Chains A and B, each alone.
Chain A
Amino acid sequence: MEDRKNYSRKAMLSLKISEFEMPPMQDLLIIGRRAPIGPEAVRRMAEALSPDQFSVVRTDHPKIEAVLIRTSLLQMLDESVLMDVIVQEAEGSSTKRWCFARS
C-alpha cells in the first residue's frame, strides 16, 4: 500500500485481430542455418498442427539447413528434383537467419 503512493504506471493496450491460417505455411517452409527455429522444432510444430502432412528434408547447403515440405508434393515429384528447384529459388533471396514459406 505504501508503494502505491510513490509511483503510478499507465499502459496503452491496442488489439489487432486477423485470421491465422492453419497451418501457417501452405506447401513448404525453408529453414535457414541460423534461423531461430530449427528443423526438428518445425517438424514438431507441423506435426502438431497438421499431423502426417509435412516432412522435413535436410540439406548440406551452406545457408539452408532444411525444408519442410508438404508430403503430397514429395509423392508427385522426385525429392532431389524438388529440392534443387527450391534451393535455386531460395538462394537469391535467403540469408542464414531466414526462415520463410513458399507456396
Chain B
Amino acid sequence: MKVGEVMTRTIHSVSSGRSVLHASELMERFRIGSLLVVDAGTVTGILTSRDVRTTHPNRIVADAMTADPIGTVEDAFVWDALNLMAENGIERLLVRSKDGSPSGIVTRETLASRIAELTDPMTGLFRSDYLEAIALDLIARGQPFHFLFIDLNDFGVVNKRFGHPVGDDLICGFAGKLKSVFGEEDCLCRYAGDEFAVLSKRPPSFIRDAVGTLADGFSVGPAHVSASVGWLDAGAEPDLGKLTFRELVLRASLMSTERKTGKV
C-alpha cells in the first residue's frame, strides 16, 4: 500500500559532469529508465530515458537532467504518490527514507498497476485491503477519523425482481453517489457485494449530512435501494491506538444493521 513496498531499491547514479552518451550506456547496461544525478554525495537531479533521447549525446548530464527532482517518502501511500506524479506531469519519483537519503525510485507504471490491484474494477472504488491499510496507519499515528459502513437495503430482493444487470447498475450508481458526496481526500471502498465503507477526516457536520444523503439510496428506473449507514467516530474512542480494523468494521456494520432493523 505504501511506496516503500513497490519501489525499486536499486539506485544507479551518474555525476552531472559525465556525458549523456555515457549515461545512456549505463541505462542500457542496467536496463533502467532513469539515473539519479549525484555530485559529491548529494542528489542534484534525475536523468530519464526521455531526457537522453531528446539531448545531444555530447552534452553533459547537467544540461539534460531535471534538477531538484520531485520526491516522496517510503511511508507515502501509493495513491498519493500517483497523484503527485499526475500533478507534476512526471513519470518517476525519487523516494527518500526517513533520514532524507534517497532509497529508491518508483515509476507511474508500477504505481498504476499496484493501484489497479487495490481497486474494484466495477465501481472504481478501493478494495477493503487498501482501506484497512489507511485505517491502521491513522490509528497507529493517533489521528482521528470517521468510519462509515454502508449496506444497501434489500439489495437481494431488488436483484431478483429487476435482474442482475439492474443490480449492477445500482451498485455502480451508488458508488457514483459516494464519489459525488465525498472527494479525493476521502477513502471510498466497496467492502463487499452491496456493502461500502468510507474513511474520512472531515468535520462531524459534513459526515452527518453525508449519512443522510447516502441513506436515501439510489434509483435506476423503477428499481430503488435505500441504504443503512453505520457511523463510528474513531476520534471519540477513549483508546484509539488499541482499535483494530476488525473491531472498526464490526462495530460500524452492527450500527448499520441496527439502523436497518429500525432499532436506531
Contact = CB atoms under 8 A, between A and B. Distances in A.
Interface of A: 34-41, 44
Contact of A40 (B56, B58, B63): B63
Nearest to A42: B63
Contacts, number: 27
B50 interface: no
B59 interface: yes
A32 to B, nearest CB: 10
A48 B56 CA distance: 22
The interface residues of chain A, by DSSP majority, are classed as loop
Contacts of B63: 37-41
A37 B64 CA distance: 11
13 contacts: A34-B56, A36-B58, A37-B63, A38-B55, A38-B59, A38-B62, A38-B63, A39-B63, A40-B16, A40-B63, A41-B63, A44-B17, A44-B60
Contacts of A44: 17, 60, 62
Interface string B1-37: 0000000000000001100000000000000000000
Most buried by A among B16, B56, B59, B63: B63
Contacts of A39: 63
Contacts of B64: 38
A41 B64 CA distance: 11
Contacts of A40: 16, 60, 62-63
Nearest to B19: A41
A37 B58 contact: yes
A35 B56 CA distance: 7
A41 B56 contact: no
B43 to A, nearest CB: 16
B40 to A, nearest CB: 15
Contacts of B58: 36-37
Contacts of A34: 56
Interface in B38-63: 55-56, 58-60, 62-63
Most buried by A among B16, B55, B62: B62
Contacts of B62: 38, 40-41, 44
B56 A36 contact: yes
Interface in B56-83: 56, 58-60, 62-64
Nearest to A38: B63
Contacts of B16: 40
Nearest to B59: A38
Given A38-B56, A38-B63, A41-B62, 15 more contacts: A36-B56, A36-B58, A37-B63, A38-B55, A38-B62, A38-B64, A39-B63, A40-B16, A40-B60, A40-B62, A41-B59, A41-B60, A41-B63, A44-B17, A44-B60
